[in-house]
Amino acid sequence: MANPLLFRPASGNLPQATARNGERAPAYAFTPRHRLAQLVMTGCTNDTFYVSAQAQLDSVLALANDQDDRFLAQLAIYGRERGMMKDTPALLTAILAARGSALLPTVFARTIDNGRMLRNVVQILRSGITGRRSLGTRPKKLIQRWLQNASEDRLLQASAGNAPSLADIVKMVHPRPQAQWQEAFFGWLLGRPVDRALLPEKTRALLAFREGGAVDSVPDVPFLLLTGSPLASRQWAQLAQRMSWQTLRMNLNTLARHGVFEERAMVEAIAKRLADRHQVRRSRVWPYQLLAAWSNLHGSVPRQIGDALQQAMEYALENLPHFSGNVVVCPDVSGSMHSPVTGWRKGASSTIRCIDVAGLVAAAVLRRNPQARVLPFECEVVNVALDPTQPVMRNAQKLAAVGGGGTNCSAPLRQLLDERARVDLVIMVSDNESWIDRSRNGATATMACWAVLKKRNPQARLVCIDLLPYATTQVGDRLDILNVGGFSDDVFTAIDNFVNDRYGGDHWLQEIESVTL
């Protein structure tokens, strides 16, 4: 057929582009609520390919200012519990605190669920960006309650970190101890003289270890509290057995450097833990975190450990839904997708890039839907042969190794049109910064191609997964189009709800607004 980008009706029913993306090409602007949700679910505290961290923060504050407390509360909880985000849920919690919202206690209890989140929200409140530098009476009481209700294990874990440290927070809020051990613990934390006999057991063991009183074993305390002391291989082996699942995943190369894998029994024990279905599900690990661990394994790590991580990936994705009909997945492999998925920040940038996550999504869908087609694209579609029987990580790695050109989101749709393909579901994973196919006016090329494809396949649906916190898309939301942001596996839940008609016209926002407070 003739090129649908050139020979389309001058007006028709296609919506006119309403914005310009980072490449100054036509795009569709998200609604304020959708844009805020996009920012919360994809970051906002680091620089990205097109937008700085400061610009993203300014956008969150401006957009949140126009939203009611209920939506901010739902979005904060959704971002933490479903998106597994850290900084942005803490930021929304701080905004609600600055407002004096009656919903703050509910949100605080569900978003501030560990020591890192406690430090995050205190840091944000004290920075003054939400309108005040003091904590305020209600936030202070909530923090006091968190400290008073925390177990020794939780307090020890929270004590590993700075800016602010747990000691700083205790000085700010002056929690009233609920037991003698708490009084002694807070005193020790603040550097005051305390009766060691009143300290809880693990804290006493930590002090003895630091003073050289325990040479054959290490105390059962968080890993980070021990790394400042020289440890023998046998002690590293003990640590490996006690580490949480997530800590173990993150420190495999460290264990290898300290000789832990020289013992066959330790290799088997660690591999068994990594490939334990229950522990994988309970850890709430992101699939991309598993990909990062597997991709960065040092050559000294036994192959059995890598195989265990691949099995863990299968478990992490086992709840991914099966989609019926003709499924096409289109991962963006263009140059801008080579930026870190969580943005750039000196000393804290993720080694996993957007292209890695896009490849992972495509490989995961292919694994659960062997009949699916995968059409990677940059300026045009890139031919990559994938085997659905291969492990997800292998196919993801293969996809991430291609590409690097400009972004052309309409390219895979145009190929489907040229093939007169039958399509039921198209999933596009991109940063949506399409510019190769820019038009001077009217609808975007992606929207124009989708309109023709939809006419040929009336039941077809399009899902656009955006991995970065930008403000535009190449296709606006409609009953047959879903725009969703984020890189946790909850994105697949949103897709499943969409294709099974559990949404109305607002799609993803309905998922967020369904959060019970």
DSSP assigned state of 17: P
DSSP H or E stretch at residue 287: helix 287-295
Residue 317's pLDDT band, with cuts at 50, 70 and 90, is: confident
Q: Are residues 337 and 310 in the same domain?
A: no
Q: Are residues 300 and 364 in the same domain?
A: no
Which of 201, 221, 252 is a domain's end point?
201
Q: How far apart are CA 359 and CA 116, in angstroms?
A: 30
Residue 103's pLDDT band, with cuts at 50, 70 and 90, is: very high
Of the CA atoms within 13 Å of residue 208, those in its CB half-sphere come to: 18
Domain of 379, CATH number, reads 3.40.50.410
Q: Are residues 437 and 504 in the same domain?
A: yes
Q: Are residues 155 and 259 in the same domain?
A: no
Torsion angle, alpha carbons of 60, 63, 68, 70, to 10: -40
Enter the tokens of residue 440: 């001077």
Residue 19 · residue 27 · CB < 8 Å: yes
In the chain, % of residues over pLDDT 70? 93
Count Cβ neighbours within 10 Å for each residue of 23-59 and write b for 16 or more, e otherwise. Answer: eebbbbbbeebbbbbbbbbbbbbbbbbbbebeebbeb
Residue 345's pLDDT band, with cuts at 50, 70 and 90, is: low
Burial class of residue 67 (count of CB atoms within 10 Å of its CB; 0-12, 13-18, 19+) = middle
97, part of any domain: yes
In tens, the pLDDT along 1-44 reads: 455 555 554 435 788 999 988 888 899 999 999 999 988 888 75
Q: Are residues 451 and 352 in the same domain?
A: yes
* Amino acid identity, position 442: G
* Amino acid identity, position 312: A
63, part of any domain: yes
Enter the tokens of residue 41: 């679910």
How many folded domains does the chain comprise?
Answer: 3
Q: How far apart are CA 509 and CA 75, in angstroms?
A: 9
In tens, the pLDDT along 446-461 reads: 999 999 999 999 999 9
102, part of any domain: yes
Domain that holds residue 261: 231-316
Q: Are residues 147 and 244 in the same domain?
A: no
In tens, the pLDDT along 489-503 reads: 778 888 888 998 887
pTM of the full structure: 0.87
207, part of any domain: no
Q: Are residues 105 and 245 in the same domain?
A: no
Q: Which of 63, 68, 79 is nearest to 29 (CA)?
A: 63
Query: Picking from 140-154, 284-298, 440-454, which range would have the lowest pLDDT averaged per residue?
Result: 284-298
DSSP β-bridge partners for residue 484: 465
Residue 9: the pLDDT is: 47
Pairing of strands 373-374, 327-331: parallel
137, part of any domain: yes
**Higher per-residue confidence, 140 vs 291:** 140
Q: How far apart are CA 59 and CA 56, in angstroms?
A: 5
Enter the tokens of residue 464: 């656009």
DSSP β-bridge partners for residue 331: 429
Q: Are residues 106 and 26 in the same domain?
A: no
Enter the tokens of residue 73: 């509360």
Angle at 259 between CA 253 and CA 265, to 5 degrees: 100
